[in-house]
């Protein structure tokens, strides 16, 4: 974003808001020194009851939504309860002004009631995706993802997925380095792709001895190398089959998908912070060739490396498109 003023985020607390859903965007968007965001909590009336029993005093009423650049709607209980018409109208007007809308967990039901998810891909907590699908048939419900970024409307699954989505927003707004700094302060995973599977109840065997931590560290130190499943399993001192199963249970994704995400992170970091030729970026991040890097950028980000870099560094003589 090029605007020098802070990006104004308003977190809309509905009655019986889920406290952690509300706290996540507040913490992510204000949890660093000189944050580029200014966060305020809005509510139709104050104080607002939470599902934990205590109340929250809102800084502004619904009128505060008019000045928002981004509005976040945390989950609330009961999520199927009718939302006040004034709230729905305020959300519709905000969307019409070009305000970015984000929901966390069951906050998606408020956006759906306002008609803002019609014809769009969206998600919510896995326990409620069937209900969202049934009650709002025009919504393209994605049941097995962490979050959905549909441009000006973004939705996330359960509570921790809201953290992933908010970090994704910081990353999209200000780049990999700042998002990683925020994640590090929160002791959170720097990035999880939105298309990773949601958590479902299952037994997850413990990662004895921190072997996967060592494997992940080795991956990050060797992104430019040819990383195979056999090599990763050897580092974990286990069979390929066992390693693949336990890695997926531990991270929610496959080893090679984790490697691909790490390579994308490194490519984005180099494009954002250096003027290395795109050929060098492709080699250092492990994609090998500019063509391969471009294909992955098209698939994941719907852009090219040069166009992505231009957003951070301005035009360069090194074109890839």
pLDDT at 251: 73
Can you name the residues that pair with 278 across neighbouring β-strands? none
Nearest CA-CA partner of 207 in 251, 152, 265: 251
Tell me what pLDDT residue 187 has: 65
> What is the average pLDDT across 73-86?
95
Q: How large is the average pLDDT for residues 240-246?
A: 91
CATH fold for the domain made of 202-321: Arc Repressor Mutant, subunit A (1.10.10)
Per-residue pLDDT of 30-47, as tens digits, reads 977 788 999 999 999 999
Residue 146 gets which letter from DSSP?
S
CA distance 140 to 120: 6
Whether 309 shows a pLDDT value over 90: the answer reads no
Q: What is the CA radius of gyration of the chain?
A: 21
Average pLDDT, stretch 91-117?
Answer: 97
Q: Cite the residue boundaries of each domain of the chain with CATH code 3.40.50.880.
A: 7-186
Look at residue 192 and tell me whether its pLDDT is greater than 90: no
Residue 225 neighbours by CB distance under 10 Å = 11
Q: Which of 288, 138, 174, 139 is nearest to 124 (CA)?
A: 139
CB burial readout 135-158, b (16+ within 10 A) else e = ebeebebbeebbbbbeeebbbbbb
Range 7-186 has CATH code 3.40.50.880:
yes
């Amino acid at each position: 974003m090029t605007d020098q003023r802070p990006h104004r985020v308003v977190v809309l607390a509905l009655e019986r808001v889920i406290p952690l859903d509300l706290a996540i965007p507040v913490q992510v968007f204000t949890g660093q020194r000189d944050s580029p965001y200014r966060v305020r909590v809005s509510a139709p009336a104050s104080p607002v009851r939470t599902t934990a029993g205590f109340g929250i005093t809102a800084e502004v009423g619904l009128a505060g939504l008019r000045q928002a650049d981004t509005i976040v709607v945390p989950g609330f209980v009961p999520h199927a309860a009718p939302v006040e018409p004034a709230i729905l109208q305020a959300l519709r007007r905000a969307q019409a002004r070009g305000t970015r809308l984000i929901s966390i967990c069951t906050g998606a039901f408020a956006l759906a009631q306002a008609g803002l998810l019609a014809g769009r891909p969206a998600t919510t907590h896995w326990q409620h995706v069937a209900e969202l699908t049934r009650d709002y048939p025009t919504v393209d419900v994605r049941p097995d993802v962490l979050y959905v970024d549909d441009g000006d409307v973004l939705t996330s699954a359960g509570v921790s997925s809201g953290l992933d989505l908010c970090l994704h927003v910081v990353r999209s707004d200000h780049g990999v380095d700042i998002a990683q700094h925020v994640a590090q302060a929160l002791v959170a995973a720097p990035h999880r792709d939105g298309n990773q599977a949601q958590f479902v109840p299952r037994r997850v065997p413990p990662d004895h001895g921190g072997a996967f931590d060592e494997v992940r560290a080795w991956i990050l130190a060797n992104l430019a190398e040819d990383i195979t499943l056999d090599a990763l399993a050897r580092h974990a001192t286990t069979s390929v089959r066992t390693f693949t199963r336990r890695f997926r249970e531990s991270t929610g994704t496959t080893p090679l998908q984790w490697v691909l995400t790490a390579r994308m992170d490194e490519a984005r970091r180099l494009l954002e912070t250096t003027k290395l030729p795109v050929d060098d970026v492709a080699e250092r991040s492990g994609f090998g060739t500019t063509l391969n890097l471009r294909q992955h950028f098209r698939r994941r980000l719907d852009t090219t490396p040069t166009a992505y870099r231009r957003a951070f560094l301005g035009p360069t003589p090194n074109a890839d498109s």
